[in-house]
Structure 1
């Protein structure tokens, strides 16, 4: 069911059915084992009225998991459609991880009501998670892991497992009396081990331990290279905070991918496919205004050399080539830089080495393509001067693109701005202005 092609077929089938058939189809999908994430993707693809109606038709145990898996605006569209009684019932059943997921997208009054209604145990776990920033593992770690004392024997562990186990427990975390982490064992090994064997003898080797203060990307990398589907998250003094598993990392990776896919457009990965027209237009209009300002800056640069373009018409034909070469070169460097920053691979110790490397690549590529484009231009227009002009402009613009492709993300990060979102707009402006100035300014000096 998770296959994208299958999902698109399910969406097509749902959108073409009437209300009764939609409910029957969704019930059938659930009976076939469809998970909450897939249900959420299906509901997001429907109009708000249909989405709310089908969400209400879900079995009660699916209500909160499906809302949690929805993107933030789609989730809000359902919550805002609930009656006060329905909302109170939902908030009462919230767990700490769902509340953490919802809190950035809901009004303060709803969050306050949720904090008042959720159970004391869930509230305590929620408060513990909020001791960490939302970009740290400790904030999102699943604190409801099954633990056992590390210094007991297998026979005693089996008794405790039977007594306190609540649902499937593939892995068990071992701790001491101070809740410090002592190891990880599997339930399968526990059931087949000698009853008299010490529990610690079943410990999994080569287990990566994650710090609660580590960034989310560290969990993605660690689980990618781990032979185990779950890893412990430790706080100060080695105290077990919780765990993260492969489902968590898949969710993080999807959010990172969507954020990068939409970066530079003013659209957030949480935006609703069927958001109200006025709201959608308002959000996108702001970004269009920003792009207009940058376009005006590039136009002003061209306007300064209006008399040059009027006398050498070929310059107007060639200008897009200069801008395009700089834009592509800059986006390559910017993409590498943003990825490296997201994975914490860039530090004060290596950023200038990376900058020099990108400048070298820019200079080499600039010279290579400048020779080719300059030669073609000179032959096409029978003007060696025009060929030299565009060649010089391309060298300057590609080198500039490499320079600012590194510097812009660093500066944006200093000001706590997302380089993936704002970097491409600023870089495009820089390469356009520098490219046009170098091209038209050189043309004015050489050709007139």
Structure 2
């Protein structure tokens, strides 16, 4: 996809009058040249009124596919404008996987009506998926892998392969007569083998697998690291229920990366670019409130040293330097640890050496920049003692920032709180308070 295509299409659609022939031509051309993914991005780039006008001109045959690719806030805004009859006509005949993608934005009664019109196979797939939580791989896996009984003859298997090979398929999964996992056979082993043998005689029993209750993002990482195009998803009882392929794994990893970027600002990745003012205000007000509380906490600690600040005004001038250095140093460590937690690289066994390493880095950086800042401050205010005070405060704050950068995300992870969402706010509060207390405390002891 070329980003300029969306940019140009948005400009053309916004510049033209609604329902004009030229607008319809733009939409038809864009639809012809792009996939549902790009169409979803185009719709999300338009204000709600223009979005609904564009939606009405998109071909009915791809509307469901476009909704699947849209963020939930954006798709919900469109679905909310459609009447029940229109919705039922649009969703009748969809597959279980599509319904799973959209179930959070569809009314419950509509889901029941759509399910009632599904064939038994699709109903069963939906039912199996509902046995798992939204964050478990069993809920989202592809239920159409290439599966055959282990006793199948190779000549039968090769005939099946000539008919069709699923995307991301280079192995066939084997099951027993109850559907339990038996292993996998690579396609290249089938060709040239005795056609009268059973495929089970070529099985790779140690083929990597996923547990249906695995976290979906951890499972995606396992697929990416496995060097396989897809991994089977198996229940605790050994039942093969589907697979997670490389294509979906890549999309999940991209989704997680976007989620973490948005979370650092306290935003939900599903928030629509053109959400209503009320909804956007509500989403952001909560996070602003949390930041306000932490700011008041830091200000309260500063207020404890009001008398010191009144007598040594230079301390107030230099306070932002102390807070800034600690904040940056802590953010560097925090980012490193959050990434390590996401990749499963951090455990109780390696936490101590990691802590030792980060404290040493903090101490060396602290001493280095304490000398630089201390010398500049001493010269600026003609006070060696003031330079010493800020130098000691810088060392202490950068070391404490390193400690907080490790412990804050680890503790949040223990309490099942996303460290990418809350870590930066807590870290900033810790480094601000530590820096102010040490700096102003030393100022009180050494300068008054």
1:117–1:275 Cα change, 3 Å: farther
Partner Cα distance (2:185, 2:219) in 1? 17
Match of 2:28 in 1: 27
Partner Cα distance (2:110, 2:264) in 1? 31
Q: Which moved more, 1:252-261 or 1:227-236?
A: 227-236
Contact in 2 for aligned 1:150/1:183 (Cα 8 Å): no
SS of structure 1 residue aligned to 2:66: helix
Partner Cα distance (1:182, 1:332) in 2? 44
Partner Cα distance (1:438, 1:109) in 2? 60
How many residues matched? 444
**1:386 deviation in Å?**
0.7
Match of 2:343 in 1: 343
| Mapping of residues 390-405 of structure 1, within 5 Å | 390-405=390-405
SS of structure 2 residue aligned to 1:445: helix
**1:145 deviation in Å?**
2.0
Contact in 1 for aligned 2:145/2:173 (Cα 8 Å): no
1:289–1:237 Cα change, 3 Å: closer
Partner Cα distance (2:50, 2:82) in 1? 14
Q: Which moved more, 1:196-205 or 1:90-99?
A: 196-205
SS of structure 2 residue aligned to 1:395: helix
Match of 2:290 in 1: 290
Contact in 1 for aligned 2:298/2:429 (Cα 8 Å): yes
Contact in 2 for aligned 1:389/1:442 (Cα 8 Å): yes
Partner Cα distance (2:167, 2:319) in 1? 64
**1:172 deviation in Å?**
5.6
SS of structure 1 residue aligned to 2:241: strand
Partner Cα distance (1:210, 1:246) in 2? 13
Match of 2:261 in 1: 261
1:61–1:168 Cα change, 3 Å: farther
Partner Cα distance (1:289, 1:145) in 2? 48
**1:383 deviation in Å?**
0.7
| Mapping of residues 32-47 of structure 1, within 5 Å | 32=33, 34-47=34-47
**1:365 deviation in Å?**
1.7
Match of 1:334 in 2: 334
Partner Cα distance (2:166, 2:349) in 1? 48
| Mapping of residues 320-399 of structure 1, within 5 Å | 320-399=320-399
When normalised by structure 2's length, the TM-score is: 0.88
Contact in 2 for aligned 1:92/1:119 (Cα 8 Å): no
Contact in 1 for aligned 2:389/2:439 (Cα 8 Å): yes
**1:404 deviation in Å?**
1.6
Q: Which moved more, 1:123-132 or 1:293-302?
A: 123-132
**Structure 2 unaligned regions, length at least 5:** none
Partner Cα distance (2:416, 2:143) in 1? 30
SS of structure 2 residue aligned to 1:236: coil
| Mapping of residues 295-314 of structure 1, within 5 Å | 295-314=295-314
Q: Deviations along 1:309-360, whole A, 9 cap, x unmatched?
A: 2222221221111111111111112112222222222223333332333222
1:151–1:284 Cα change, 3 Å: same
Q: Deviations along 1:31-82, whole A, 9 cap, x unmatched?
A: 33x2222211111111223323333333333122211111110010111011
Contact in 2 for aligned 1:181/1:234 (Cα 8 Å): no
Contact in 2 for aligned 1:181/1:239 (Cα 8 Å): no
| Mapping of residues 48-447 of structure 1, within 5 Å | 48-106=48-106, 108=108, 110-111=110-111, 114-116=114-116, 118-160=118-160, 170-171=169-170, 173-176=172-175, 177-179=177-179, 180-186=181-187, 199=199, 208-236=208-236, 238-447=238-447
SS of structure 1 residue aligned to 2:348: coil
Partner Cα distance (2:168, 2:264) in 1? 43
Q: Which moved more, 1:108-117 or 1:243-252?
A: 108-117
**1:220 deviation in Å?**
3.3
1:338–1:367 Cα change, 3 Å: same
1:30–1:6 Cα change, 3 Å: closer
When normalised by structure 1's length, the TM-score is: 0.88
Q: Deviations along 1:80-130, whole A, 9 cap, x unmatched?
A: 011111122234334322333333455555555555554443232122123
Q: Which moved more, 1:105-114 or 1:363-372?
A: 105-114
Q: Which moved more, 1:215-224 or 1:251-260?
A: 215-224
